[in-house]
Chains A and B, each alone.
Chain A
Amino acid sequence: ARLASRGSGLLLTSHFTKSRVVAMSGQSSGCGFLMSVVVHGDSALNEQEKELNQRLRRLYPAVNENETPLPRSWSPKDKFSYIGLSQNNLRVHYKGHGKTPKDAASVRATHPIPAACGVYYFEVKIISKGRDGYMGIGLSAQGVNMNRLPGWDKHSYGYHGDDGHSFCSSGTGQPYGPTFTTGDVIGCCVNLINNTCFYTKNGHSLGKKLQNQRQILYMLNLLIYLDTPGEVVDANFGQHPFVYDIEDYMREWRTKIQAQIDRFPIGEREGEWQSMIQKMVASYLVHHSYCATAEAFAKSTDQAVHEELASIKNRQKIQKLVLSGRMGEAIETTQQLYPNLLERNPDLLFMLKVRQFIEMVNGTDSEVRCLGGRSPKSQDSYPGSPRPFSSPSHKASSSQSYLTGTGSDTSWFDSNCCNGVTSNKNHSSSPHSHKPCPPGSGSTLPVSDISLNGSRSQQPITSNDMDMEVDHFTNGVTESSSNGFLNGSSKHTTEPDDCDADMEVESAQSKRQLCGGSQAAIERMIHFGRELQSMSEHLRRECGKNSANKKMLKDAFSLLAYSDPWNSPVGYQLDAIQREPVCSTLNSAILETHNLPKQPPLAQAVGQAAQCLAIMARTGSGSCAFASVDDYLH
């Protein structure tokens, strides 16, 4: 079932996220897996939807669609009865009498414009002007009467085709632009930064219209109205390329906002700003235990370090172990250096152990490595430097659950589930997800080298391999696995840690195998899994239910359900990048015991900035669209 689902290449990303692994539970009989995949027949529709999603993401990267979805079609609910919708609610036609102004009818889009768009744009094409061509497009607040022309009522604005006038919350229009008719493409652009709006005709901007009711702008909704029979209008919310070059307009505003940020006045007193920056840098270095750098930096900037050097070095040692996947040693070292720390934090210990289990599956944990397991280089090497800032929103997008478990509460771990896993020889890794290091070269492999390595490889490439690769590539474009791939590759641009030096040579040939391929290691892993299971039960008895812990464990165990865990929907856990949150949690816990801040001020400032942007988005300040924190972190 699993392979079949991967075989259908045209599936959309979103369908994978819908697919669920359902555990056919049973304590004794082992586990079977069923995967249900939602398949839509209409692939052309899917293509269009894909294009729409891509375009919307490109235009409005700052919009969080979980909170504020973007308009994608006209709303079948929010319309007057004289309006008919067709073609996926994108085509609007008039079916009333069109005799008096009372026959006017409007329809609104499915959602209001999110402020985080910064600049929002949509277009309509006049398919037929009908009898009289009384048509208009515009904006209105939610709840404005749909039996009226846009612009006539309070909180509504419109541009009318019959006379070219613009209406702004009043029944009398002002001359604005040219008239429009059959064949014309009319666009409407809302600038949520300076609260203006302008319309376009056939790709040409017709000029600004100022709006003053700032407070209602962020709840504006797109609107179209028709008034006489035969009128038909098609909308484009991003399904197709726009006639007007809106991206160029956005570019100008992005530049403006960024210039505003760059020129923002800072610290009035001489040197104040500089010394604050220095403090932030120094504390950041100490926090992440860059001892030598921190020492040198403190010296040259004349600052005091608030932690003993030895303590920093200890933390550094533990961090290195975690980041290189050697969890067992990390736990041991922590217990030695900071006795009682883990005893007082059973949840932390549990988290570390779960990670250890994952690293065992990966073949990187010290306990399985000494059993002869060899792990592929890419999984093993880690540069030893934490990724600077992963904001909460990031994590949500990259690693959010595939498996929102609905399975039973019962324990389901059993050695049976490993059956057939190790024997599967066809699951060689593709060069795309795992990049071998050329022998002898210490470190850096730029991303662009990937394909070169593939072809340079000494290993004869069998046709089977090729099939796998293509197959993997087309199907593997699920959100998290592609993320993982990108992140993984970028990591190779830095020097690997010294503790991995002995692992380099062999990696070019090695295939990724469970626990590094050693039977003894697998047994050890399974044994460890059982211990973990009982630890979990013990924890639940002691401290009550903890859904985070439960999910963590379930996700980890799910790895064994796949013949090739690395390419499975839960495979992201094996990615080295997942060591980072573990590492930083442990680091924070250690620092807390020394009464030092859990988070360095720099990270706090970054987090705060990100939060500010989120609040701006919620309160309708459009400039948040062009002020991504990431742009300033290099």
Chain B
Amino acid sequence: IPLCLIPLQEVTATSRHYVDRLFDPDPQKVLQGVIDMKNAVIGNNKQKANLIVLGAVPRLLYLLQQSSSSLELRTECAVVLGSLAMGTENNIKSLVDCHIIPALLQGLLCPDLIFIEACLRCLRTVFISPVTPVQLLYTDSTVIPHLMSLLSRSQRTQEYITQIFSHCCKTPEHQTVLFNHGAIQNIAPLLISPSYKVRMQALKCFSVLAYENTQVSMTLVNVLVDGELLSQVFVRMMQRDQPIEMQLTAAKCLTYMCRAGAIRTDDSCIVLKTLPCLVRMCSKEHLLEERVEGAETLAYLMEPDVELQRIASTTDHLVSMLADYFKYPSSVSAITDIKRLDHDLKHAHELRQAAFKLYASLGSNDEDIRKKITETENMMDRIVSGLSESSIKVRLAAVRCLHSLSRSVQQLRTSFHDHAVWKPLMKLLQNAPDEVLVMASSTLCNLLLEFSPSKEPILESGVIELLCSLTQSDSPALRVNGIWALMNMAFQADQKVKVEIVRCLGTEQLFRLLSDPDTNVLMKTLGLLRNLLSTRPHIDQIMSSHGKQIMQAVTLILEAEHSIEVKEQTLCILANIADGNTAKELIMTNDDMLQKIKYYMGHSNVKLQLAATFCISNLIWNEEDGSQERQDKLREMGFVDILHKLTQASDPNLSDRAKTAMQQYLA
């Protein structure tokens, strides 16, 4: 035996002794054994692991559950188990595997408070570990109501139970279960508990309960705690002399309530309290974790509200303050302090993604703010490098930020082009998870707008194929973005590009998209068709090769149940077709289609009337070959009467259009 193994063996031997004593026939000796074990494991991870390996857990659980055990013994067992849970994640796994959770939950039915507290402490430690499946709290439906009833027992039960709740409320279903069992009424009074820990855990409970939950949030605004509205209690908890953790969590609660529609965005508790509090959290003097959480919460708070974005953009130099988020690990920390470097590295990604998110939110509506952001030191370079970072979170946030900034015409023309952001963006599109793809393709849509100088280089990089493949995605958002980008690309494009789009997409796919269940996809596909069918030579060329299918699709859409917008877009396509030289005949020879146009000229919706009238106007336009025949045919079909009637229409656009059409007959 190698020498180095001897001490290990010794450790195992002593551990063995502890476990053996649990099996002593004398209950008094068992109790002493458990107490000695308790003292031996405190703060000693190795000892904990040893005991677990040696099978102490099942025996402790057995003793804990045995009704013949003395209360003292059962309590000590719970304490030792709690101690074991304090060790490594592996310890927790072993404990969970031994079914410690149902055993401890069972223990909570005992009337003795000391024992309950010991069980709860252990349960708390187990549940707050990321390796414990949260669902275990909800398997037995009697557990939650029982925990609620234990809340009144002592400050300790309050602390442990609220901590368990705040860690085990991860889904809307969990929120509903807790809500239905009176979580709000039971926990609200704890917000004014004399114990800081209880207040803090209760506050955390509310933040997870209210997150994206309208029902909870709406209830919360009306809750009174000791005669004071809950929102005011939260405001007090945000006061600047309170611990940062409390300020931040209270700000989260109010943010979630606001986003769920329970508090207006112009309420002073949001504008003058929550928002400034969150901006403060972003400042350098706070811990990296706090800065991350503050920035993320703030981004979430103001996402839908331009006024909040404007206020935040001028508060405490937030825009330049965020630039500091990119300075980790700092060059100083690398040299001086390994520990700090490690800490910085760990948080560097989180900081960057939080900053990108906040920039994205800040710049989502206001042009001036976008300008301010792009003018921040090295901002565009940072986004560009963020797009190719290894962390998916950072990439996603960077592309969100880019997307937000890409809504600016000016930025598209200047900084986006200068920094060739399309390059990393294209690279990102090659191989990325869906959520990144959605953002990236959406950004690409903006970069492909007609006035964007990036449009040309992107076209040359073979983007069409990529976009066409997006239209085949299962995700509606990706299909929309793909077809949208194609639509933008086709706008006033060269014949060559249009032909390439049609070739690459394939008529089959085009028609599949026209029957897409998602209206957005349908609308953008119609938009693409409309852009493709512009300028006469293009119309004739495309209609000569795909005329039959296109006319079929148009018929189908006009006959089906669709929104006014869809039908209008379709009639516009028809009007474009009517503008072609040879394409016209596809309509003129289709009496069914002409009847449909007639029907829409008499429709109750002015927009549809206008589009249909456009179509007829194009068909009867003078100075074109065969205009006389077409005019005659349409007169026979009764179109002149309708046009005549429409010249009297109350809508000026419509009557003008009808008058212009009538003039074609007079000429």
Contact = CB atoms under 8 A, between A and B. Distances in A.
Interface of A: 177-178, 201, 203-208, 245, 248-249, 251-252, 254-255
Contacts of A249: 240
Most buried by B among A178, A207, A255: A207
B239 interface: yes
B314 A248 contact: no
Given A201-B314, A207-B321, A208-B316, 18 more contacts: A178-B314, A203-B272, A204-B311, A204-B314, A204-B315, A205-B315, A205-B316, A206-B314, A206-B315, A207-B316, A207-B317, A248-B239, A249-B240, A251-B239, A251-B240, A252-B240, A255-B240, A255-B241
A262 to B, nearest CB: 14
Nearest to B273: A245
B314 A254 contact: no
Interface string B269-305: 0011100100000000000000000000000000000
B240 A248 contact: yes
Q: Which 4 A-B pairs have the closest CB atoms?
A: A252-B240, A207-B317, A255-B241, A251-B241
A206 B317 CA distance: 6
A204 B268 CA distance: 12
Nearest to A243: B272
Interface residues of B, number: 13
Contact of B241 (A203, A205, A254): A254
Nearest to B238: A248
Contacts of B273: 245
Nearest to A255: B241
A252 B311 contact: no
Nearest to A202: B311
A204 B308 CA distance: 11
A519 B239 CA distance: 61
A198 to B, nearest CB: 8
Nearest to A203: B272
Contact of A177 (B271, B314, B321): B314
27 contacts: A178-B314, A201-B314, A203-B271, A203-B272, A204-B272, A204-B276, A204-B311, A204-B314, A205-B276, A205-B315, A205-B316, A206-B315, A206-B317, A207-B315, A207-B316, A207-B317, A207-B321, A208-B316, A245-B272, A248-B239, A251-B239, A251-B240, A251-B241, A252-B240, A254-B241, A255-B240, A255-B241
B554 to A, nearest CB: 52
Judged by DSSP, the binding face of A is mixed
Contacts of B317: 206-208
B83 to A, nearest CB: 32
Which of B240, B273, B311 counts the most chain A CB atoms within 10 A? B240
Nearest to A250: B240
Nearest to A248: B240
Nearest to B320: A207
Interface string B225-241: 00000000000000111
B227 to A, nearest CB: 19
A145 B315 CA distance: 32
A249 B316 CA distance: 13
A254 B241 CA distance: 8
Contacts of A245: 272-273
Interface in B312-334: 314-317, 321
A204 B317 CA distance: 11
A252 B286 CA distance: 14
Nearest to A256: B241
Nearest to B272: A203
A497 B241 CA distance: 42
A203 to B, nearest CB: 5
A535 B191 CA distance: 67
A633 to B, nearest CB: 21
Contacts of B239: 248, 251
Contacts of A248: 239-240
Contacts of B311: 204
A254 B315 CA distance: 23
A249 B276 CA distance: 11
A205 B321 CA distance: 14
Nearest to B313: A178
A252 B314 contact: no
B655 to A, nearest CB: 46
Contacts of A251: 239-241
A293 B314 CA distance: 61
A170 B241 CA distance: 36
A303 to B, nearest CB: 37
A60 B314 CA distance: 29
Contacts of A205: 276, 315-316
A177 B239 CA distance: 25
Nearest to B372: A175
Contacts of B316: 205-208
A140 B533 CA distance: 69
A245 B314 CA distance: 17
B241 A252 contact: yes
Contacts of A207: 315-317, 321
A235 to B, nearest CB: 21
A472 B273 CA distance: 42
Contacts of A252: 240-241
Contacts of A254: 241
A245 B271 CA distance: 12
Contacts of B240: 248-249, 251-252, 255
A383 to B, nearest CB: 30
Nearest to B315: A204
A245 to B, nearest CB: 7
A205 B278 CA distance: 13
A177 B272 CA distance: 18
A164 to B, nearest CB: 9
Contacts of A204: 272, 276, 311, 314-315
Interface in B235-264: 239-241
Nearest to B275: A204
